[in-house]
Chains A and B, each alone.
Chain A
């Protein structure tokens, strides 16, 4: 199964444009964006959608629901995602994280009243992220070209494929739970609105200060996702950082 998934993902990546589409950068974190023109068009679309719909929805959500309620909603969403985190912990061979995921789900679902209350963290079981895009990365599948997906935002080919798998692997997909399509949609929308609210300061800051908000989001996303695969403070990772050369005399 693992070989099949790696093979499938690798074919997807291999079919994508290569090499010459690599955006040159001195920063050491090379940007592979062969579809930049289309991605920028999608970014522009998303920006318009964000201004017209997503941000107003997020701010309205904040106005209507007090913070403790919003926290409870986020806790429930995280708890529903916990089994998917567990599955990916196991697929990645991270048994220690898997153990934490199991106990987090059990404790938050019971003592935490169906996940409303985050009681696992104070007990020494902090949350961590794991998704199928990350799993593919740990299996050696390269990220492939950068994608800016309408509605969903920045991604890459690997993470995009991973997101589709995560959707099908969600606990909400279990037939015995009889979760309707509308309920799943409601869950996704609530997750999206809550996440947009959490990122509001960052997104608005980028829009206000970046000279190229698209490039800034792309850079931040790719670095963030890379850090999820490797310890960004490991010797190997820091050795790959670009050098900060001293400016030539008289440069300032």
Chain B
């Protein structure tokens, strides 16, 4: 099987787990043309600006892991559409989950996803990102393509960002590296776990709680 560029995967996880790059949302720009295949300058600008801010945070060594994690988590909250992603990763079970359980899942998923990307923060080695184009599924749902290069990458890698327009700005909902969409993969992971538990969503929630507890114990 051809190898996946592991640094790219790690970089994308850092930038995208639970959401992606963040900063203040830039104004939403819908293309004038009705054709949904047109590029979207607003979405592209959003990704370029947010990517640069993310890389700035990663390149600042605060000497304190807790501070770095806090800064990056705040950053993610601003750019990622966390509620939409949380709803998405449950797949078919998002429609049947009880409200109380939904809240329980949202809380633990937030912690779980944060731990996943925070564990990768030290794998940033000066890579840079440049937006190279976009394809619109609709005026409010755009895939922005970028190239990540430099650092310890032997050659540039293409990373795609799926951004959704909402509330006057853009937010990231998924990231693709080497053809693999991270939120889609996460959804298939979670749905499989629930399927194998006979549809019992609590099994997934409990497993995520154990994972979070293990991560927290490991970080002390």
Contact = CB atoms under 8 A, between A and B. Distances in A.
B188 A233 contact: no
Interface stretch (A86-94, A96-104, A174-182, A199-207): A199-207
A26 B179 contact: no
Contact of B184 (A223, A228, A246): A223
A234 B133 CA distance: 11
Given A29-B184, A235-B135, A244-B174, A221 B155 contact: no
Contacts of B185: 216, 219-220, 223
A126 interface: yes
Nearest to B88: A244
B1 A31 contact: no
Contact of B1 (A154, A214, A218): A154
Contact of A244 (B4, B164, B211): B164
A219 B184 contact: yes
B45 to A, nearest CB: 18
Contacts of A251: 83, 87, 99, 102, 106
A26 B187 contact: yes
Nearest to B90: A26
A25 B1 contact: no
B1 A211 contact: no
A244 B191 CA distance: 16
B154 to A, nearest CB: 8
Interface string A214-236: 11101111011111100011110
Given A126-B155, A232-B179, A250-B99, A212 B184 contact: no
- B contact residues, range: 35 or more
Given A241-B137, A247-B84, A26 B92 contact: yes
Contacts, number: 162
Tell me whether chain B's interface is mostly helix, strand or loop, or mixed: helix
Contact of A27 (B103, B155, B162, B184): B184
Given A228-B2, A233-B145, A244-B88, 12 more contacts: A25-B92, A198-B4, A199-B6, A201-B10, A219-B180, A219-B189, A227-B178, A235-B37, A238-B135, A241-B162, A247-B86, A251-B102
Interface of A: 23-29, 31, 121, 126-127, 129, 131, 152-155, 195, 198-202, 205, 209-212, 214-216, 218-221, 223-228, 232-235, 238-239, 241-247, 250-252
Interface of B: 1-4, 6, 9-10, 13, 36-37, 81-88, 91-92, 94, 99, 102-103, 106, 112, 115-116, 123, 133, 135, 137, 141, 143, 145, 155, 158, 160, 162, 164, 166, 173-174, 176, 178-181, 183-185, 187-193, 195-196, 204, 207-208, 211
